[in-house]
Structure 1
Amino acid sequence: MKTGTGKNAGAAKILHKKAKTKSVRSSSAKESARVDQAPQPVETKHPSAARIYIIGESPMVEQYAEVCAFHGYEVSLSWNEKPLQKPEFKSDHIKISSIIPANTSIVLELTNIDTAAKKANIERINDAIADTAPILSSSITVTATEQSSWISGKYRLVGLSALPTLIAKPLVEIAPTIYSPKETIEVTRRFFQSIGKEIEIVQDRIGMVLPRMLCRIINEAAYAIMEDIASPQDIDTALKLGAQFPFGPFAWAEQIGLNQVVAVLAALHADLQEERYRITPLLKQMAMTRKQA
């Protein structure tokens, strides 16, 4: 796979020209005033000058790094916990480093399971990067609004629907907050466009759209096994052939990671207190067994 910086000129335009920052949504005049004081994004000259910093959980960190590097970005990355096996990256434009480069243009925070680690990452990122650099943070287990309360630069954080394998899809869900000015949303759109993705703006809610639906289907499939309705193989076949799913729920759960599925369901159940999101004991056991292994 070639990574040349000339592959996608759209990467050069990810940072917006200076403009007066206005709030897209505001619950009060006070919030609007706070947003209006946010520094404006600045434009970089070439993809090779645009550096992305990615931190969070494996394998999302590796997956996003490969996509960004392929489309001409210089990528620095680190993990909350290093993978047991050091990944072999296809691109020479990826560097493993716990230090956030001073010239970072955009940061991706990809943590769903460990909220304490996520908060520490967000706080460190906010202190390390320029005021004009946005933070795109997975918000399927903690809302973007809650995350923005952890930092002074509330205007810069936008929620992102991130689960392992989802970066391969052509669409990315994003969730702005009441603090998100239109310029930050435009920078986010241009960034994803530069790596070949379209965005869909959704409400800032736990689970967002696809992760919520997908994890619930996986959970329901686990209930079907517990009730001896069908085998895992039969359920996978039924949804692949009958509903045209790309994978069956258990095959998809293996790719996403059972611990990720459990984290999303636990966050949904805690947020909504609804029985439909209660995690089946079988799924909990499967996730625990896989983690211990």
Structure 2
Amino acid sequence: MGLWQNITLGRYYPSASIIHRLDPRTKLILSLGMMLTIMLADSWPALLLWTFVLIVAILVTHIPLHIFVRNLRAFLWLFGITIFLHALTSSAAPDVEMWGISISGAGALIGVKYALRLGLLVLVAALLTSTTIPADLTDGLERMLHPLERIKFPAHELALMTMMALRFVPTIIEEAQRIQRAQISRGARFDGHLLQRVHALIPMLVPLFISTFKRADELAAAMEARCYRGGEGRISFRELKLARADWIAIGIMLAAGLLTWPLTVQS
């Protein structure tokens, strides 16, 4: 049950921090920029620099640290698999050989680097969704894509689908927790080794899909009851405008990117 409880992506945590008050377009641009540079960064100094930047940003939000740690814990299995596969498949000289299996320490170190990169991407996504209301994300993404409407690109519909997908992440997690508790009350067991846990999750899939489709149908009925007819002719209740804090945040991001780029090129 811990896996479902650890994932908090898509959940907003209110606070009065400066990051919460940033324009959603600024946070979207910064998040996409950070994800891109983190994926390109292939040296330890560059990854450690972005780790420092993310830690500072998380501290500024005043959101409890355990919220972000829980998201990382939910992906520990992925980090472990990444390190293990790199240790097995590395072309470097093996350091340990057992039962015909060669394990390379250099490969494991490369796996740690990739695992760190994945962890940073998870933290960027958690930072964005925990500091921005889904409706603001929709408005920000729609404004960013607005120029594409001249070529008949459905900017509003794409932004709405993105917001709904983000909002459905915590909804699906809540449904999974509810179904899991119901099955535990009927004698189901979710402990044991990894394969046993995966096997125990299989009976949850059908009721989880049914419940998710039911929630989606309820959402569609609610939108229809409110006379939703697409983005044509719709106006926004709040006008977005970049403030001084937004430009400062963009400047910090550019400075970090300029520091990271030489480190990435040298690697």
| Both proteins in one fold, TM over 0.5 | no
Q: For the superposition of Structure 1 and Structure 2, which TM-score range results when normalised by the shorter chain?
A: under 0.3
**If you compute each CA radius of gyration, which structure gives the higher value, 1 or 2?**
2
TM-score by length of 2: 0.25
TM-score by length of 1: 0.23
Which one has a larger percent helix, Structure 1 or Structure 2?
Answer: 2
Which one has a larger percent strand, Structure 1 or Structure 2?
Answer: 1
